[in-house]
Amino acid sequence: MTITETTVGSILTRTGGYLQGVASHSLQPYRGCSFGAALCGAGCYVQHSRHILQGRAWGSFLEVRTNAAAAYAAQAARERRWCARRGQPFGVFCSSATDPFVPQEARYGITASLLAAMRDQPPDRLIVQTHSPLVTASANALVELARLCEVRVHVSIESDLDRLPGLPPPASSVERRIEACGRLRDRGLFTVATVAPLLPIADPERFFGRLAPSADAVVLDHFIGGDGSHTGGRTLRTPLPAAMAAIDPESVTIGYRDRMAAAARRIMPGRVGIGAAGFAGRYE
């Protein structure tokens, strides 16, 4: 993988589309993602962005935004005023096009520097979205920030299966990510397991039963309606649906999400979110 260091003119992007009702801004500490060649990268919608890829293979590059914290410090007050004029909270979704806790975070500390910058100028709400158990290394900073603003930590756990036929393994096992949720929740952080995109689940009762003590809530989202296209067209161009169908043909239909959501509600009543509403923190 090619790793380069770069600087950016701005780091807070006003959201549109799917994320608009979730947070006012998205924030990417890196461009590209070290997990792009892992299981989650197979269906990752970012791989369709020519603007980001610029001819490179998804998962083959990572641009380290070395001035991310300074860019946040320079932008935060202006973007907060922009939110105030619209009567909406200043909410930051970190991240939607990379992972804030790629392995390289241990060396570069870009996300850590952003959390420190947010301590000086906290948003109203911070949603951290990650596939990586390395998020636990930032638990102290997140706990400190949670005293200043609403913090939710979303950990992606799409299934109870570590392997799908013909696809690469995940960057970290299902078990390690559930354990990470538990450690974050034990620290008092509001922790959400995001089952998104929903993959076939071998044993729904057991899976949600394992999540129940480790996460405050779960959010389920299907690639149909959840990948930025209305009918899942982006994901249908990837090998993910065929691999899902090989395990359970029903899993590539939206009805599967509803059946899994019903199973989740039986075990975690009042703690289950669906789609964008779930990412926005609305649970039933």
Q: Rule CB under 6 A: which residues touch ligand SF4?
A: 33, 35-36, 40-41, 44, 46, 98-99, 131
For ligand SF4, which is the closer residue by CB, 46 or 260? 46
Quote the tokens at residue 41.
Answer: 């990268």
State the nearest-atom distance from the C-beta of 61 to ligand SF4, in Å: 12
Give CA–CA dist 214/225, Å, rounded.
Answer: 27
State the nearest-atom distance from the C-beta of 120 to ligand SF4, in Å: 27
State the nearest-atom distance from the C-beta of 259 to ligand SF4, in Å: 24
For ligand SF4, which is the closer residue by CB, 114 or 267? 114
For ligand SF4, which is the closer residue by CB, 26 or 98? 98
Quote the tokens at residue 171.
Answer: 């960057």
Contact 157, 194 (CB under 8 A): yes
State the nearest-atom distance from the C-beta of 204 to ligand SF4, in Å: 22
For ligand SF4, which is the closer residue by CB, 36 or 273? 36
Q: Residues in the chain, how many?
A: 284
Contact 43, 240 (CB under 8 A): yes
114-to-121, 123, 138, 153, 158 alpha-carbon distances in Å: 10, 12, 11, 15, 27
